Amino acid sequence: MLGLVGVTLGTAVGVLPGIGPALTISLLLPLTFGMDPVGAFILFGGIYYGAMYGGSTTSILVRMPGEASSVMTALDGYEMTRQGRAGAALATAAIGSFVAGTFATVMLMLTAPALVELALGFGPTEYFAIMMLALTALGGMTGGAPAKGAFATFLGLAIGTIGIDLQTGQARFTFGVPGLLGGLNVVVVTVGLFAVGEVFWHAATHRVSRETPAPLGGPVRLTGDDWRRSVPAWCRGTLLGFFTGVLPGAGATVASFLAYAAERRVSKTPAAFGHGAIEGVAGPEAANNASAGGSLVPLLALGIPGSGTTAVMLAAFQMYGLQPGPLLFSQESGLIWGLIASLYVSNVLLLVLNLPLIRVWVLLLHVPRSLLFAAVLVFATLGVYSLNNNLFDVAIVYVLGVMAFFMRRHEVPLAPTVLGVVLGPLLEQHFRRALAISGGDPSVFLTRPVSAAILALTAVVVIVPLLVRARAARGTPRSPRESA
Amino acid sequence: MPPDRRLAVGLIAGSAAYLFGAFQIGAPEGQYAAVGPRLFPLVIGLGLLTSAVWIGVAATAEVRRSPVRWGAAASSALAFLAYIAALDVVGYLPATAAFLVLESRLLGSRVWVRDVIVSIAITVSVYGVFRLLLGLRLPAGLLG
């Protein structure tokens, strides 16, 4: 039931441009406070998968991608619509998403326990190393200038240091304000950066004109030729998407770009791409759904998010006093398996719900954007207010919203900041715990093999993009903005 | 001066302030800790400073940005601030309904009657969900 609500809501936010899964889940966090955690996560899982699918509908019909991850779908999807093949494009996106989502969930089920097995032997040293990897990977891969990604990450870490130091009881950066002693609530930070900042940004940049949805031509089904061309594209997209999703920092946008590039490379008729090639829809749509499943693997097995949306989900776990990771798998296995089961159900629901309901989703585009964004501000305010029943948190949301506006203005990515806020305190604790165990000897990070290997990988993640950039200093195409 | 360089100047100032704050953190007395509460903020402060300088150095003159309507953004931000302030004074119901009408107009809506009706509908249904269904407390104010 909650899965149904989640999928419906997820598809709706996927269809609506500017409102992504990270924003929706952060708005819902305060509302689910009184709910049972299993229900809340079933809801969030449905939203995540639904949003990945919903973005395709608007890309195909109006060439207006709801999410960064469906930008590639718009290229060939909209062309197909203009040729009167919108039905086939929507069908290949829906079935591809289903295939990819199901496969990714199976893989999640198979790989997560194995990873847990490995992670049980991890100490603070290893966790510190993995968190360093997640932070550097997301900071470096969000596109745009690497300096800005780095600054965004440090900014998040800096926000994370506000409050009482857990090990010594020393107050840091509180300026004598009692409301800051407990640190900034992660919910407050995500709502401020994603929701309020987004509305301000919308106010400053929205265009008054609106594209009208193209009429939905043709039946919603695939011909034999479509199937023959779609199936291999789904499979490639799924595999590529899942593994891209598991890597911290890469995420759905990168996955869909890689899938599109791969389809064009293996195609016998690369010239057809951009002119309505069905593989150009099937591959990227499978890839972005598969990457959503893939990104849940490190979140559930290690407790380490690799993207904006999973960072918000980690915040949700923390809100319930749960720390995802190897222990959660053994202690709260009901929760984990409930979540995984709900992902299967969500997938089936997506397929059943969406093929007949495509016309309804298109109607959503007629909801006036102005009222929608005004309502987002109200939800943000009330949700945050109800956390602690005080307006102080709302004031912080306001400040962060203004900050997010200027970050958007200067093309500084937001996702690394949220990840920094979530991981910063954990990073510091693990670091200090590791040193306390080793008696203050910092070489412990390099002498334990797993931690040394991960830190070496982190160094590679930092250095390689810099070298690539230095070599191709001129004429580099700009990457799209951060993925959700 | 390229816009990113101006940005960097501001960020360097902010980073320096953070770093200064990090130096102010006192060390705890008589407790054993291999690493005190100061190390992380210091490292983060240095990181902020370094990346801010890096932004300045990497700044190029080419500017290709979508135009931003500062007036619209500022009026939205002010309306929202006024809303937060009004919540505690006049209470949830009137503040929210008035804010929704105002904000949707600021965001470009031009259909008065529809906006008013939808705003009141949203206000009441949110009240129902939060207050009656979930039992959460909303700012009461004078008229709440």
Question: Distance between CA A218 and CA A379 in Å, rounded?
Answer: 39
Q: Is residue B115 part of a domain?
A: yes
Tell me: pLDDT of A340 over 80: yes
Q: Is residue B123 part of a domain?
A: yes
Q: Is residue B25 part of a domain?
A: yes
Q: Which of B38, B46, B68, B107 to mutate to test the interface with A (most CBs of A within 10 A)?
A: B107
Q: Is residue B101 part of a domain?
A: yes
Integer CA distances (angstroms), A169 to A83, A166, B4, B29, B37, in order:
66, 6, 39, 11, 9
The residues near A60 (Cβ < 8 Å, ≥ 6 apart) are A73, A74, A77, A78, A80, A81, A86, A89, A90, A93, A281
- A90 within 8 A of A56, measured Cβ to Cβ: yes
Cα dihedral across residues A203, A204, A207, A212: positive or negative: negative
Residue B23 token pair: 């130096």
ipTM: 0.85
Domain span including residue B95: 70-133
Q: Are residues B79 and B53 in the same domain?
A: no
Tell me: pLDDT of A209 over 60: no
Phi, psi of A163 (to 5 degrees): 115, -170
Q: Is residue B8 part of a domain?
A: yes
What is the per-residue pLDDT across B33-51, written as a single tens digit (0 to 9) for each?
Answer: 556 778 888 889 898 999 8
Asked if A368 and B31 come within 8 Å (Cβ–Cβ), the reply is no
Question: Distance between CA B32 and CA A253 in Å, rounded?
Answer: 46
Q: Are residues B128 and B92 in the same domain?
A: yes
Domain regions of chain A by residue span: 2-471
Give the model's pLDDT for residue A484: 37
B69: nearest CB among A172, A204, A431: A204
The residues near B24 (Cβ < 8 Å, ≥ 6 apart) are none
Residue A358 token pair: 């495509």
Provide the residue count of chain A.
484
Measured CA angle at A482 (ends A478, B4), to 5 deg: 60
The HSE-up count of residue A71 (CA atoms within 13 Å, CB side) is 17
Domain end point (choices B58, B79, B95): B58
The residues near A462 (Cβ < 8 Å, ≥ 6 apart) are A136, A140
Amino acid at position A121, single letter: G
Q: Are residues B52 and B91 in the same domain?
A: no
CA distance B103 to chain A (A): 6
Tokens 């770093």, residue located:
B19
- A160 within 8 A of B50, measured Cβ to Cβ: no
- Helices and strands per DSSP (H, E), number in chain B: 5, 0
Q: State the DSSP code for A33.
A: G
B56 or B67: whose pLDDT is higher? B56
What is the per-residue pLDDT across B114-130, written as a single tens digit (0 to 9) for each?
Answer: 888 888 888 887 777 66
How many independent structural domains does chain B possess? 2
Give the model's pLDDT for residue A403: 92
What is the per-residue pLDDT across A275-299, written as a single tens digit (0 to 9) for each?
Answer: 878 888 888 888 888 888 888 888 8
What is the per-residue pLDDT across A21-70, written as a single tens digit (0 to 9) for each?
Answer: 777 777 777 777 667 777 788 788 888 888 777 777 777 776 766 666 77
- A83 within 8 A of A276, measured Cβ to Cβ: yes
Closest B-chain CA to A198:
B73
Residue A340 token pair: 């995984």
Asked if A150 and B47 come within 8 Å (Cβ–Cβ), the reply is yes
Strand partners, A164: A171
Strand partners, A172: A163
What is the per-residue pLDDT across A117-129, written as a single tens digit (0 to 9) for each?
Answer: 777 778 888 888 8
The answer to whether residue A470 neighbours chain B at the CB level (below 8 Å) is no
Tell me: pLDDT of A428 over 60: yes
Amino acid at position A373, single letter: F
Asked if B136 and A165 come within 8 Å (Cβ–Cβ), the reply is no
Asked if A145 and B55 come within 8 Å (Cβ–Cβ), the reply is yes
- Helices and strands per DSSP (H, E), number in chain A: 20, 2
- Residues in A closer than 8 angstroms to B35, CB to CB, are 431-432, 435-436, 440
Strand partners, A171: A164
Q: Are residues B41 and B88 in the same domain?
A: no
Asked if B96 and A203 come within 8 Å (Cβ–Cβ), the reply is no
What is the per-residue pLDDT across A354-405, written as a single tens digit (0 to 9) for each?
Answer: 777 776 766 666 667 777 788 888 878 877 877 777 788 888 989 999 999 9
Asked if A147 and B88 come within 8 Å (Cβ–Cβ), the reply is no
Question: Distance between CA A61 and CA A32 in Å, rounded?
Answer: 33
Q: Are residues B97 and B122 in the same domain?
A: yes
A364 or A146: whose pLDDT is higher? A146
Give the model's pLDDT for residue B35: 67
Phi, psi of A178 (to 5 degrees): -60, -30
- A318 within 8 A of A186, measured Cβ to Cβ: yes
A150: nearest CB among B54, B73, B76: B54
**What beta strand segments (E) does A36-175 contain?**
163-164, 171-172
Indicate the pLDDT class of residue A483, thresholds 50, 70 and 90.
very low
Asked if B11 and A389 come within 8 Å (Cβ–Cβ), the reply is no
Give the model's pLDDT for residue A218: 54
Tell me: pLDDT of A444 over 50: yes
Question: Distance between CA A432 and CA B35 in Å, rounded?
Answer: 6
Q: Among residues 25-64 of chain B, which lie with CB inside 8 Å of chain A? A: 25-26, 28, 31, 33-37, 40-41, 44-45, 47-48, 50-52, 54-55, 57-58
- A41 within 8 A of A79, measured Cβ to Cβ: no
Q: Are residues B15 and B48 in the same domain?
A: yes
CB count within 10 Å of CB A346 equals 28
Closest A-chain CA to B70:
A204
Question: Distance between CA A69 and CA A22 in Å, rounded?
Answer: 13
Question: Distance between CA A256 and CA A271 in Å, rounded?
Answer: 19
The residues near A366 (Cβ < 8 Å, ≥ 6 apart) are none
What is the per-residue pLDDT across A241-264, written as a single tens digit (0 to 9) for each?
Answer: 888 888 766 667 778 878 888 888
Share of chain A above pLDDT 70, in %: 85
B84: nearest CB among A370, A395, A432: A395
Secondary structure class of A171 (helix, strand, coil): strand
Q: Among residues 416-455 of chain A, which lie with CB inside 8 Å of chain B? A: 424, 428, 431-432, 435-436, 438-440
Q: Is residue B32 part of a domain?
A: yes
**Mean per-residue pLDDT, B74-92:** 86
Q: What is the interface size between A and B, counted as CB pairs within 8 Å?
A: 183
**What beta strand segments (E) does A106-262 contain?**
163-164, 171-172
Give the model's pLDDT for residue A399: 92
